[in-house]
Amino acid sequence: MNKPLFLHIVDRLSNEIPYFQQRADATGRSGLSALQKCTAAIRLLAYGTALDTVDEYIRLGATTARKCLEHFVEGIITLFQDEYLRRPTPEDLQRLLAVGEERGFPGMIDSIDCMHWEWKNCPTAWKGQYSRGTAKPTIVLEAVASYDLWIWHAFFGPPDTLNDINVLDRSPVFDDIINGEAPQVTFSVNGREYHLAYYLTDGIYPKWATFVQSIKLPQGPKASCFANRQEGYRKDVERAFGVLQARFAIIRNPALSWDKAKIGKIMRACIILHNMIVEDERDGYSYSQQNVSEFQQGEGSGNAHVDLSYSPANTNIADMFVRRTKVRDKKMHAQLKKDLVEHIWQKFGSNY
């Protein structure tokens, strides 16, 4: 991360988290500074090395380095989670929909997928549920990422014996829609109006109205054009996983902790830091800057519309079941996919 961003994190932690405030011992000697503690924690996250590797550089022992890491991830979650791991606001949704329409997918907001983090020190009693066959124990992360690699949703903790569908059944990714708390989205594809935004996914996900998969064996130029576009843009979440692991080697390497709760906090803190870096470096991105700038100026944002004045609906059981049925509507999924094939062919067919 850039130095100003790191110093901003150090300043917030030193002012609001007691552990990072510098103190003097009984002899009047100053203790470790917030800069030393944060540097040690960042190095452990970024390089994924053993705890005693920061001894020579920052003069911290292994025990102190472990405490710095634990307090650092808890401080990051406490101070920055509400801002950098939030659900999209109506303004965020409008921007994502504008970019999705520019790419040829009206109503598309993000892509969703799962990744696995190996758990080296998994307790023996738990290895059966965290291992699939003879594979090593891993913990699953379900994430939703946008075109600029911002991770909007993170659900971490299910064991490796669950696949993407089983993880989805436990995930809260559609809770806001089912509870009537999501903003109303309206868009049209091929002359037909829809009211549920969707994610791009791979073939394992179910055929719901909120998912659009590729065509496994495309027949003809229209299907091939759609499959190429969908498979290319679905890689946003794969790129986000790759960048996340490249920035924080502790996630790429096997987890060494015995405590699953601490592993979850490390993952959540790394995602928050990743989003902070994305926001800090976003001005340097070239993709869709014209479209995003048009949205920020209030100019044309296509046919997709988000109701900015929505109010949460009444959450009674009957309405929740109706909304849940709409999310899982297979007929709407088939119609949406058919319309998207025609729309993408009309927009990009001249290139095939």
- Predicted confidence (pLDDT) per residue in 120-165, tens digit: 999 989 988 898 876 789 999 999 999 999 999 999 989 888 888 9
Nearest residue to 74 (alpha-carbon basis) of 237, 266, 286, 343: 266
Q: Which residue stretches of 131-287 are H helix?
A: 164-170, 175-178, 221-233, 235-247, 249-252, 260-281
Q: Which residues contact 217 (CB under 8 A, 6 or more apart)?
A: none
Instruction: For residue 189, give the 3-state DSSP assignment.
Output: strand
Q: Supply 334's token pair.
A: 């088939």
pTM: 0.90
Q: What is the largest CA-CA distance in the chain?
A: 80
Please write the tens of the pLDDT for every residue from 272-286: 999 999 999 886 544
Sheet holding 151-159, edge to edge: 151-159, 138-145, 108-118, 198-200, 211-212
Please write the tens of the pLDDT for every residue from 34-90: 999 999 999 999 998 888 888 878 888 889 999 999 999 999 999 999 999 998 888
CA of residue 28 relative to chain centroid, distance: 46
User: Residue 310: what pLDDT?
Assistant: 63
User: Residue 8: what pLDDT?
Assistant: 95
Beta bridge partners of 116: 140
State how far the Cα of 92 lies from the Cα of 231, in Å rounded to an integer.
Answer: 24
CA of residue 59 relative to chain centroid, distance: 35
